[in-house]
Structure 1
Amino acid sequence: MITTPYVPGSLLWVDLGSPDVAASADFYGALFGWDFQSQGPEAGGYGMFTLDGKIVAAAGPLMQEGASSAWTVHFHTPDADATAKAVEQAGGSIRMAPMDVFTAGRLAAFTDPTGADFAVWQPGDTPGLGAVNDPNTLCWAELHTADPERAKAFYHSVFDWQIQDMSMDGFTYTVVSPAGGGEDARQGGIMGLSDEMRQEGWTTRWRPYFEVADCDAAIGVAQESGGEVAMPPETVPGVGRMAALTDPFGASFSVITSATE
């Protein structure tokens, strides 16, 4: 569960790069009930998804030639410049050097040594998302990678994450949380790409999870709105019912109806 207020290493933001922001806003509006609020021409087409007046995600146009639509997860850093150095020292690469975003904060984007893109946010006026874990908001992030051991070492080095390996039906799932957060601060997982996943076209990437009241109903709305099912719904005891989806432009994400005790 993502915890707030956000601390260093916390998952605190998620945004979508889209070839058609308006069409993407329509899709996620139908699926999650989100409203899209553009930040104006000075923000280059970037805007905020809101739910009940709170920021729950963001979206903007694709900025690099040849880029494909994708969600990007962001982690809290108290010093984006220091994190950039730590990323390079740990074997990652810089996609976008640290830069100020008006007075909202300082942003940088990276690729980890296994090929997964992510970003960091040094909060200014904007501390992070206004709502998480509630229905139709961000609740988890999962890294699928061909080299989970290298990924674990990298993120532990950069963010000092707490890492816990768990055995699940013949494979290892690694749960990550910010340093000192304990079990209540679990915010994501790392898992290796299986042969079956590779055959189905899964690649190394971070995937956001959004909480929904009814996983199967959400799948139906996504399909009616032009999305596709990448992994059919599955119930994991003690975790919840989840499915992997892609939006009309191919951006990958998952929905989950978490188990309640």
Structure 2
Amino acid sequence: MGFMSPGQVVWFEIGTTDPQAVAGFYGPVLGWSFEVDEDSSIDGRTYTRILAPGAPWPMGAVQQGDTGGESVNLSILSSDVRADVDRLTGLGAAVAVPATQVADVTVFARLADPRGNLFSLFSQSDSERFEERIAEAGEYMEQAASAPPPGSPAGFEIGTADAQATADFYTAAFGWRFEKTGTADGTPCQAVYGPGAEHPSGLLRDYGGRTGAVDYAMPVFLVADAAATARAARERGAEVERPPSAEPGGPVRARIRDPRGRRFGLLARPARQPAG
């Protein structure tokens, strides 16, 4: 299966009542640019595409005000949103936004998994234009996977106090596969593979048994220097919830809460070791 196959996380969305505040934070911290998508804006609420520095294709969007608060969610491609909503509620998901047709562009819905984490579904409409856009996005994502620019997606991370329940839900929901990879910061971790994927696209952290553990699902972004980016985020009002750290030979990871409380991750690739 390719990047743009049903069941794959291919997008992320930031829900907010203040799109300008989102741009004012993430633009300087991660170098993002923003452009309003007139086709996908609803009832006067803007839907603003997010682009990584130098990227020709958006990687996510800012959704104004439809959930009544500040949020971030992963977005998963579906072959049939309405059918998937019915199927996933049967697995314990709750509907936040029902299946909704947006012009002739797409159908989307927003749900919460059994642990309370928001995610969205979207499927292509019968629009030839949308099919062309999906094809273009797939081509860009294939190219970006080999040389992604800083500020672009580096996968996703799910933290949970019940790893088994979380893995069971996403396996049944989307055909994801989970494989143990050891620990990070003393936390047991599993690599997350999309349906049919050869390489992992996400990480599951098992916080079971920890006092005050909070479930979350967040996008992770590639940066050149995780420590410098974390400092820049803190200077603009964010909380560095998990400071930059790395296992030997592994990437540097950090977890940030932006000024409105939304979580996102940073990932910096390990420095190359000098040839011996």
With the shorter chain as reference, the TM-score category is: 0.7 to 0.9
Q: Counterparts of 2:249 and 2:108 in 1: how far apart (Å)?
A: 36
**1:218/1:145 Cα in 2 relative to 1: closer, same or farther (>3 Å)?**
same
Q: What's the TM-score once normalised by structure 2's chain length? A: 0.82
Match of 2:219 among 191, 208, 221: 208
Match of 1:58 in 2: 61
Q: Deviations over 1:74-119 (max 9, x none)?
A: 1111111221122122122222221222233221111111222111
Contact 1:9 1:179 in 2 (8 A): yes
Gaps of 5+ in 2: none
**1:101/1:223 Cα in 2 relative to 1: closer, same or farther (>3 Å)?**
same
Q: Aligned to 2:58, what secondary structure does the other structure show?
A: strand
One-letter amino acid matched to 2:63: G
Q: Counterparts of 1:7 and 1:70 in 2: how far apart (Å)?
A: 25
Q: Aligned to 2:264, what secondary structure does the other structure show?
A: strand
Match of 1:191 in 2: 205
Q: Deviations over 1:114-157 (max 9, x none)?
A: 22211112134143685565221111111112211111111111
Match of 2:261 in 1: 250
Match of 1:150 in 2: 165
Cα distance, 1:222 vs. partner? 1.2
Q: Counterparts of 1:59 and 1:12 in 2: how far apart (Å)?
A: 15
Contact 1:13 1:73 in 2 (8 A): yes
One-letter amino acid matched to 1:55: P
One-letter amino acid matched to 2:117: A
Cα distance, 1:42 vs. partner? 4.3
Q: Counterparts of 2:82 and 2:29 in 1: how far apart (Å)?
A: 37
Alignment partner of 1:37 is 2:35: yes
Contact 1:50 1:56 in 2 (8 A): yes
Contact 2:222 2:268 in 1 (8 A): yes
Q: Counterparts of 2:96 and 2:208 in 1: how far apart (Å)?
A: 27
Aligned length: 252
**1:239/1:120 Cα in 2 relative to 1: closer, same or farther (>3 Å)?**
farther
Cα distance, 1:206 vs. partner? 0.5
RMSD of aligned alpha carbons: 2.4
Q: Counterparts of 1:248 and 1:171 in 2: how far apart (Å)?
A: 26
Q: Counterparts of 1:155 and 1:9 in 2: how far apart (Å)?
A: 9
Contact 1:86 1:157 in 2 (8 A): no
Match of 1:172 among 171, 180, 188: 188
Q: Counterparts of 2:32 and 2:93 in 1: how far apart (Å)?
A: 34
Q: Aligned to 1:236, what secondary structure does the other structure show?
A: coil
Q: Aligned to 1:55, what secondary structure does the other structure show?
A: coil
Alignment partner of 1:181 is 2:197: yes
Give 4+ residue runs of structure 1 displaced > 6 Å after superposition: none
One-letter amino acid matched to 1:96: V
Between Structure 1 and Structure 2, which shows a larger proportion of strand residues? 1
Percent of aligned pairs with the same residue?
23
Contact 1:163 1:176 in 2 (8 A): yes
Contact 2:15 2:67 in 1 (8 A): no
Cα distance, 1:62 vs. partner? 2.7
Match of 1:20 in 2: 18
Q: Counterparts of 2:259 and 2:158 in 1: how far apart (Å)?
A: 22
Q: What's the TM-score once normalised by structure 1's chain length? A: 0.86
Contact 2:160 2:208 in 1 (8 A): no
Contact 2:117 2:215 in 1 (8 A): yes
Match of 1:159 in 2: 174
Contact 1:116 1:145 in 2 (8 A): no
Gaps of 5+ in 1: none
**1:42/1:149 Cα in 2 relative to 1: closer, same or farther (>3 Å)?**
closer
**Greater relative CO, 1 or 2 (CA 8 Å, sep 6+):** 1
